[in-house]
Each structure stands twice: as structure tokens, then as C-alpha cells.
Amino acid sequence: MNSFFYRSAGLLFLFVCIVSCSPSLDKHFKSAKVFEQGFTGLAIYDPQKEEMLYQYNSHKYFTPASNTKLLTLYAGLKYLEDSIPAFRYIIRNDSLIFTTTGDPSFLNPKFENSAALDFLKDSQKDLFYVKSNWQNEAFGPGWAWDDYNYAFSAEKSAFPVYGNLISFQFSNLNKTFNVEPEYFKDSIYLHNDGKALHRNIHRNTFSFSPSSLKNYSRAIPFKTSEETSLALLREKLNKNIFYLKNDSLRSELNKELYSIPADSLYKEMLVESDNFIAEQILLMVSLKISDSLKSDITISNIQKKDFKDLPDEIFWVDGSGLSRYNLITPRTMVKVLEKIKNLKDQSELIALLPEAGKEGTLKNFLSEEQPFVFAKSGSLRNNYSLSGFLTTSKGKTLIFSFMNSNYTVPSQKLKEEMGQILLKIRNKY
């Protein structure tokens, strides 16, 4: 009798809490001017009770932008190992024969690990590179074509090196560039068109107008190919590497060399919202499950096997969220986050995400003395989403997805209002 009474009282308390909180949040959405003309959705979920606490347009579709990287995180956690494979290889007599896996950390200045480079540098064998089974395009569906000149739109590739970027530093004192890698230093041409540094859309030639520049530093994507990557690697190693176009030989490369811990890759992707890393993760997963480098294989496989029980279908076309073709609902995003939570210890997972007010893309959001939001942001023009974990005043950890599309107010004002709503949720639960 007593246990029945307490269970009933607990359910009544929960019902009152949900009912009392909902009108308050509903009123906030309806009265805040920043939400008047745009479109907003929010889902708050308690993973312990497996219960949705609050929903506002949570069944409607939004453009997730870089929230798409949470889908990519799921792919990596589910299908890749704890360390990232850099090469597949075999040693035959006096030959080291290898191919790549799409590892974005190789020679990438963001990562301090030289295991893969040292493996090739220290080898006394003749080096042979086997052409990869590349089945992809350099850009994703729906990417803006004129972003090719910006670092956030580096090309996908089978054999990434240096993050597929060139670093340029211009000194106004002597009117010269410092270029890394130096391989491209002879590809810079002077122009008087008044433009800052830019690359030819079709090839690796770069032009600039010295009059338009003072001291200047910038990274620009280069046009990729396996031949270009091999040329860069030959220069780095100061060794010859033979190029083999032999599909049957590729299947015999049965050993793997690992480069960096997978969490290092995920942390950079999530905290700094690195698009290139996200795209390469999808490619590495596709190689794992199909022996081909093709993003669509990863997306299709996960949609059919892992995401078939989600509340709503996900329209998913790339790994980074650069495409506006991606669509997802807030209630589906929280269920994806729950699936991610089931793959990794909660504290380790939260450590991979930006802390609001502390780091990365959330450094200037919700600057509370005690951070309580750990989430991935996503922004495209007139779209802003935030999805992740929220620690409440009572010590609960909730999952949330807060999405906005088609707003025209300054994004800072939108984020301030979102912050006020998240504070109410923290204090209520």
C-alpha cells in the first residue's frame, strides 16, 4: 500500500513538474521577439527515465548545419577502433607496399603525432604506394561552389596530407610569402586585380596583389589528387615512392599501421567544428565496412542498420553539415545523442564536446561560472542549432536539441535568448 502511494505521488509530482514547466517555456517562445519571424524547435529528454520532458516543434525538420557532425561521431564510435589506421601495408622482400585509409591526421599540423611518417621515413625498404579504391567526389552534395578558396571547405581525398591545406604567411616588410608545404612556393603569381590571396578554381596556382596585403596569414585548400599527395610525401621524406595502379594488390595489404587515438580526432572535429575531419571520418568508416572510400556507403549503412528505429527519417548527405540538403528533427537528434551515449561512457563523451563559455565554438556562449551545457553548435546563414547535454541544478544530465531556421535577427541576439531558455531548464529540473 505504501509503495503504491509513493509511486503514485512520484508520478503526480513528475506530471505537475512537466505541466508547470511547459507553459513557462511556451510563453517564452511566443513572447520573445527573436523567435517571431524565424522557425524554432526544442526537445528536452531525460535519458534515465527514457522520457521526453518538453517539446516545441520537435517533430519539424530543420537544417542542422554542423550538428550533422554528431551523426558522424556516431559513425566513428560505432565502426572505427580506438586508434585511427593510417596505412594498410605489406612487406615483401625488399619492398614496403602501402595504401592509405583516408586518415586526416597525416602530416596535419593540428596533431602532434609522427608515427605514420616515421614508419615510412625509417623503413629501409623500397616504397610502393597502391592506388586507393576512391569512389567519392572532392566536395559534398549541396556545398557552395565558391567556398573552394576557404579553409573550412578543404577537399575530401583518399590520401590527405597537411589537412589538404596550404599555409601562407605574407611579410609586408620584404613582400615575400612563407609557404608550407614548400612544394607550392613556385605556384604563386603576382596580379594587380586588387584581390587578396586566392587559388585558381581548377588548379594549384595562387595569385595575390601585394598592394592589397599587409602582414597576412591564411590557409587555403589545394586541389587534391593521389599524385599530388605522393609528390608532397616524396618531398617530405626525400625518398622515391613508386605509384602502382593495381587493384588486386590492394586486397593483399593485410596489416594496418595506426596513427592517433580516435578521441583526438573526434575532439578536434567537435570543439573546433573541423569540416575536413568530419568528412574523412565518413570515408574511413566506408573503407572499414566496404573496402571502398565513399561517404554514401557509410550513410546508407547506418541509416538502414542503426537509425531505422528513430522517430523521423534523417535526410543526411555529408559528414560536416556544409550542405543545406541535410534535414533532421530535434526529437530525432536527441535520440541520436542517446545512441551515442550508449556507445561511450558519459563523462568521456561530454569531454569531447565544447563546454559552453569555455572553449571552441561555444567559448562566448553562456559564460556561467559553472558550465552546464556541453554541446555541438551548427551554423549556416540564417540557421543555428545546438544539441548535446545539459546538467541541471539537481544534478541530472538531460539531452537536448535546440534548432533555429530562417531567422533574420543578429545571431548573437538569438543565442542570448536561447541561453535564457536553457538557464530556465537547468533551474527547473
Contact between 354 and 360 under an 8 Å Cβ cutoff? The reply is yes
List, for residues 199-229, the tens digit of each pLDDT value.
Answer: 999 999 998 876 656 777 889 999 999 999 9
List, for residues 367-403, the tens digit of each pLDDT value.
Answer: 877 889 999 999 999 999 999 999 999 999 999 999 9
- Tell me the C-alpha distance between 101 and 287, whole Å: 7
Which of the 8 DSSP states describes residue 137? -
Q: Which domains does the chain have, with CATH numbers?
A: 21-77+270-428 (3.40.710.10), 85-182+217-260 (no CATH)
Neighbours of 290 (CB within 10 A): 15
Q: What is the pTM of this model?
A: 0.92
- Tell me the C-alpha distance between 310 and 9, whole Å: 32
What value does the mean pLDDT take over residues 60-81? 98
Question: What rounded mean pLDDT belongs to the chain?
Answer: 91
Q: For residue 217, give the C-alpha cell.
A: 596569414
Residue 21 pLDDT grade (very low, low, confident, very high; cuts 50, 70, 90):
low
- Predicted pLDDT at 188: 86
List, for residues 348-363, the tens digit of each pLDDT value.
Answer: 999 999 999 998 999 9
Residue 32 pLDDT grade (very low, low, confident, very high; cuts 50, 70, 90):
confident
Distances (CA, A) of 154 to 262, 298, 320, 425: 21, 20, 11, 38
Contact between 333 and 390 under an 8 Å Cβ cutoff? The reply is no
What value does the mean pLDDT take over residues 228-243? 97
Burial group, residue 261, by CB count within 10 angstroms (0-12, 13-18, 19+): middle
The answer to which of 155-169, 204-218, 272-286 has the lowest mean pLDDT is 204-218
Which of the 8 DSSP states describes residue 185? G
- Tell me the C-alpha distance between 286 and 300, whole Å: 10
The answer to which of 108-122, 189-203, 241-255, 345-359 has the lowest mean pLDDT is 189-203
**Helices 68-79 and 275-290 meet at what angle, rounded to 10?**
40
169-186 burial code (b ≥16 CB/10 A, e <16): ebeeeeeebebebebbee
Share of the chain above pLDDT 70, in %: 92
Contact between 73 and 270 under an 8 Å Cβ cutoff? The reply is yes
What value does the mean pLDDT take over residues 25-35? 88
